[in-house]
Amino acid sequence: MTVPDTLWREIAASPFVSLGTYRKNGALVAVPVWVARDGDELVVTSERNTGKVKRLRNDQRVTLRPCSRMGAVEPDAITVEAHGRIAAAATDDAHADAALRRKYRLQYRLILGFEALVRRVQRKPGDRVIIRISR
């Protein structure tokens, strides 16, 4: 599953990527995510209890396609097949966090700040993880 550098860079440069993960029955479930490059890997952040994280625990295969903020994928969009793994708590992976902050700047800070505020109001602990994607 070797992905050419040009495709890997194109996916990494996309503002939003449709991240596809597989259910136990083999069905593909795709959701829009932010993605940034960290060395030769791509990184995504997500709450630990989301479906994509649960599905990655069972099957590390992922698909990546450039998409809109709402997840719409153009019919002729490239598709990259790769492997994802749950790497660490987001607070423990400074490189991944820095890569996402560099790419998304104020948006990233606002979303994480809003999430922290909601968690504080709801008195629920936040547990964000980093997903590392490799070719």
pLDDT in tens, 52-104: 999 999 999 999 999 999 999 999 999 999 999 999 777 678 889 899 999 99
Residues linked to residue 65 through DSSP beta bridges, in sequence order:
18
Tell me the pTM: 0.87
Total domain count, the chain: 1
Question: Domain range for residue 44?
Answer: 5-134
What pLDDT is stored for residue 94 in this prediction?
A: 87
What pLDDT is stored for residue 38 in this prediction?
A: 95
Residue in 23, 38, 15, 26 with CA at minimum distance from that of residue 134: 38
List the CATH number of the domain containing 38.
2.30.110.10
Rounded Cα–Cα distance for residues 97 and 109 (Å)? 11
Identify the weakest region by mean pLDDT among 7-21, 60-74, 108-122.
108-122
Query: Quick one: pLDDT band at residue 107, thresholds 50, 70, 90?
Result: confident
Rounded Cα–Cα distance for residues 63 and 82 (Å)? 6
